[in-house]
Structure 1
């Protein structure tokens, strides 16, 4: 690290080009004056000690001296300094729903894959903000603590699948509770929790936890992935759809976006609801 305390003294360096111009002018004037009294071949006999080297050496010495004098006056300092900097950014935790209903393909390629694409796009637009990842279905599990390592975040994000959590459901309440442990109490950064889900909350306690989180300064934003019309849940083997999920009565399950739940959570969480319908 370099520090210049008195940069105004750099103006003294302008003396050097002035001296060079003055030297050229005086040398030319002296040469013209000498030629008035003798021919060029006679000057070496009349002035045997005449030399161009000495005046040039004197000019260079004076210029270097001025340069070092200026460096001394500006007080150049070099070294390192340890300084504590308080970061004021945003700590964002993404809670991604990985329940079986997220396999529905009413949004191509699927709700889960579209959610991963969306979070990746958001991460790509971040600069110095910190991010964390949570996956949840019937329970919530931490995937990545708060970090600025965006590459690791995207790697963990792409590895999320519906087999990470054995118990099925949509434990939004538990995801909110887990997210609260991600944030540091002494941080000055804004706290944001982004919940990405189809909104099928089977616990019913999400609103209470969202309200408590908002009281702790956490803003909750919900993103609804899916359509109101809904879609079936494919069961694949080796990438090929073999059948569709059925209920206990043998009827094909149709899963739909429950935007009302997500909207209520966002409302008490001082955030907003964003619906993701696009199939692009």
Structure 2
């Protein structure tokens, strides 16, 4: 009966406590409601039928009417809520991904690049209100996808990123500078670069510090991630005769000081990911640090449901009045 029903004034339900008191009063005063006559014998009177025993129904109808009135006073109503959201602070994000041969190292499973692509895809899916672009870099850098709100386009481009599309090497400055170039004309209130690498800067004609200065000039915050386990990692060291990679243990070298300096200068933060779970935690933390402000508008439509209870109370009182002045008239 009360499914999906709310009450605007539920405090009136306290009045229901009067009903047990009314029942008690009725049974205590029932005998006093009729006139009494003392006689020596009632033998000459005909035996009463069933009708006088139904007289308490009149009080029962009044009681139900009172309960219905109390429910009506509590104002039962249904609520229809429609919601509209508005993005009040958009964020433009460029993810700069190292695609050098060392990203095929197997200290993350199945390798660094595949692990990164999986985590980055989840990050993109969690940013429905932001524009995202992709930059890939190795010995040089290029824009894989300009900043766009089309997440399916970005996800498809992310899946297409592989080793071998660029000359080998690690041009951190080029990757960062290309990302800045993608964001410098952005009108977004907040502009973010997430730069990931697993090595040291050894290629490119733009120094990382110069690229960091450009990021500062255009108000672009940069989060840097050093990817790779501590110690040695199984990394491509040469080619086999069939063209496949030959793997060998190689010392993991990450220029953490450089990555820390870039992050600090631009107002970002440096992270170190030594395994798959740590990489996921880093992207989750960045996702929490850079939240898009959403303004939500809710529209409420109420439909009052008290009228049927008023009609029920009126019908019960009318029935009680009719019975009192017709069927039960001779007994009152």
Provide the C-alpha distance between the structure 2 equivalents of 1:85 and 1:266, rounded to a whole number of angstroms. 27
Cα deviation for residue 112 of structure 1 reads 1.7
Larger gyration radius, structure 1 or structure 2: 2
2:290 counterpart residue number: none
**Superposition deviation, residue 50 in structure 1:** 1.6
For the structure 1 residues 47 and 107, does the alpha-carbon distance in structure 2 shift closer, same or farther, using more than 3 Å as the test?
closer
| Match in the other structure for 1:99 | 100
- C-alpha displacement at 1:97, in angstroms? 1.3
Write the distance in 1 (CA, Å) between the matches of 2:271 and 2:98: 15
Tell me whether 1:58 sits opposite 2:62 in the alignment.
Answer: yes
Give the structure 2 partner of residue 257 of structure 1: 253
- Determine if contact 2:180/2:220 at 8 Å carries over to the other structure: no
Which string of whole-angstrom CA distances, capped at 9 and with x for unpartnered residues, describes residues 158-207 of structure 1?
Answer: 553225x455553313442255269652x4xx543221113435224243
1:37-62 CA distance string (max 9 Å, x none) = 799x966479477241x333332223
Q: Does 1:180 align with 2:183?
A: yes
Aligned mates of 1:120, 1:168 — CA distance in 2: 24
Per the alignment, in what secondary structure is the counterpart of residue 75 of structure 2? helix
Between the aligned partners of 2:260 and 2:30, the Cα distance in structure 1 is 92
Cα distance in structure 2, aligned partners of 1:132 and 1:42? 94
- Structure 1: how far apart are the matches of 2:276 and 2:70? 70
Match of 2:73 in 1: 69
Match for residue 270 of structure 2?
A: 273
Q: 2:220 aligns with which of 218, 225, 228?
A: 218
- What are the equivalent positions in structure 2 for 1:157-172 lying under 5 Å apart? 157=158, 160-163=161-164, 165-166=165-166, 168-169=168-169, 170=171, 171-172=174-175
The separation in 1 between residues aligned to 2:144 and 2:29, in whole angstroms, is: 86
Mapped partners of 2:135, 2:73: distance in 1 = 64
Partner residue in 2 for 1:249: none
Count the aligned residue pairs.
255
- Report SS of the residue matched to 1:271: coil
Preserved CA contact (<8 Å) 1:146 1:182: no
The SS at the match of 1:141 is: strand
What root-mean-square deviation, in Å, do the aligned CA atoms of Structure 1 and Structure 2 show? Answer: 5.0
SS in 2 for 1:86: strand
For normalisation by structure 2, the TM-score amounts to 0.54
Deviation at 1:14, TM superposition (A): 1.0
Whether the 8 Å CA contact 1:134–1:179 is kept in 2: the answer is: no
Decide whether the 8 Å contact of 1:219 with 1:270 is kept in 2. Answer: yes
DSSP 3-state at the match of 1:222: strand
Q: Which runs of 5+ in 2 are unaligned?
A: 278-332
